[in-house]
Amino acid sequence: METEKKIDRNYLELFRDLIHKKLGIYISQEKDYLLESKLGRMLAKSEFENAAQLYYSLKDNDNNILEELIRYITTNHTFFFRENLHLKILRNDILMRKKSNPLIWVAAASTGEEVYSIIIELLENGINNFTIVASDINKHVLVSMKKGIYSIDRMKEIQPSLIRKYFDADPDNMSLYRIKNLLKPNIIVKKLNLVEKIKFEKKFNYIFCRNVLIYFNRDTQIQVVNNLLDNLEDDGYLFVGHSESLMNICDNVESVFTSVYNKKI
Ligand SMILES: C[S@@+](CC[C@H](N)C(=O)[O-])C[C@H]1O[C@@H](n2cnc3c(N)ncnc32)[C@H](O)[C@@H]1O
């Protein structure tokens, strides 16, 4: 079991604010047990003796410590073909509206299962020309995405024929599979924090930002959604998670399918 150091209660509030400011993630008081445990484990693994030292080094913008904080605080759970209906909506729209070389941004891509699911869906439907920008705030998940090695538990939603076509079994570990290199050339990987102002040179036809807004409070959700919309083509689609409605947080979008929005023009 991982060891934990005690976090002085007086510092919890300060860490809550700092995490909210730097990562956008708002951990409410009901989840203090989680915050204490995550910070306690981080502190035990660090060179710091107490919560005060850890807090002030983060406050002084020590980048290595901030990366560690991001690693401990973010929830990176994901799996292949999650909320699969969105993938069908995407490929139908590309085919129906004859979008050539669509530009897609997967804005909280975690370890890459979502990105590779999109690519498999497109290739299986004869869509070979596209570019995907895959981003996340956590640099460690981006490294895993580039490696593309996955445990079979994340692959339950993939048909066996597609596993054979797009993955190689790891000869040394029966529960691991490696993504074939043919899925990698269309991806550009970037470390991006959604609460910072982001401006890409070209606007996207499709943006996926799924299962991350739930970690933000309403003000941050508004800020992040506006940031995303600034980078979306006027006729583009924004996909959010199935439990993340934009209806009460944004007036300038309309719903086109479940959890899929476009701009009101
Ligand atoms: C639960 S995962 C969702 C992964 C995938 N989109 C899905 O639906 O399966 C949430 C991801 O959001 C990322 N994240 C959290 N805060 C972020 C921020 N401020 N900017 C960018 N990514 C963030 C986390 O690092 C994590 O990988």
The predicted structure's pLDDT at residue 265 = 80
- Give, using CA atoms, the residue closest to atom 27 of ligand 1: 110
Residue 5 pLDDT: 82
Nearest CA to ligand 1 atom 7: 78
Which helix (DSSP H) or strand (DSSP E) does residue 166 occupy? helix 160-166
What CA–CA distance (Å, rounded) separates 237 from 204? 9
Whether 172 contacts 158, CB under 8 Å: no
Q: Are 107 and 209 in contact (CB under 8 A)?
A: yes
Return the pLDDT at 235. Answer: 97
Helix (H, G, I), strand (E, B) or coil at 3: coil
**Largest Cα–Cα distance in the chain?**
60
Under a CB-based contact definition with an 8 Å cutoff, are residues 264 and 252 in contact? yes
CB-CB contact of 209 with 224 (8 Å) = yes
- In sequence order, the 6+-apart residues with CB closer than 8 A to the CB of 122 are 90, 91, 94, 128, 130
Q: Is 213 in the pocket of ligand 1 (CB under 6 A)?
A: no
Is residue 87 lining ligand 1, measured as CB closer than 6 Å? no
Closest among 126, 124, 86, 123 to 106, alpha carbons compared: 86
Torsion of CA 163, 166, 170, 171, to 10 degrees: 90
Q: What is the pLDDT of residue 1?
A: 62
Confirm or reject: Cβ of 93 under 6 Å from ligand 1. no
Cβ neighbourhood burial of 247 (10 Å; 0-12, 13-18, 19+)? exposed
Span 143-166, pLDDT tens digits: 999 999 999 999 999 999 999 999
Assess contact for 163 and 155: CB atoms under 8 A. Answer: yes
Is 136 close to ligand 1, i.e. is its CB under 6 Å away? yes
Q: What is the mean pLDDT of each run of 10 residues along the chain (265 residues)?
A: 81 96 96 95 94 94 94 97 97 97 98 98 98 98 97 94 96 95 96 98 98 97 97 98 93 95 92
Phi, psi of 206 (to 5 degrees): -140, 135
Six-digit token string for 4: 């934990």
What span, in angstroms and rounded, lies between the C-alpha atoms of 131 and 110? 18
- Spatial separation of the C-alpha atoms in residues 247 and 227, rounded to whole Å: 17
Contact predicate 114/157, CB 8 Å = no
Q: 254: which strand partners?
A: 262
CA of 228 to the centre of ligand 1 (A): 14
| Residue 211 Cβ < 6 Å to ligand 1 | yes
- Token pair 């909280």 is found at 108
Q: Which of 136, 142, 157, 222 to mutate to test the pocket of ligand 1 (most atoms within 8 A of CB)?
A: 136
β-partners of residue 151 are: 176
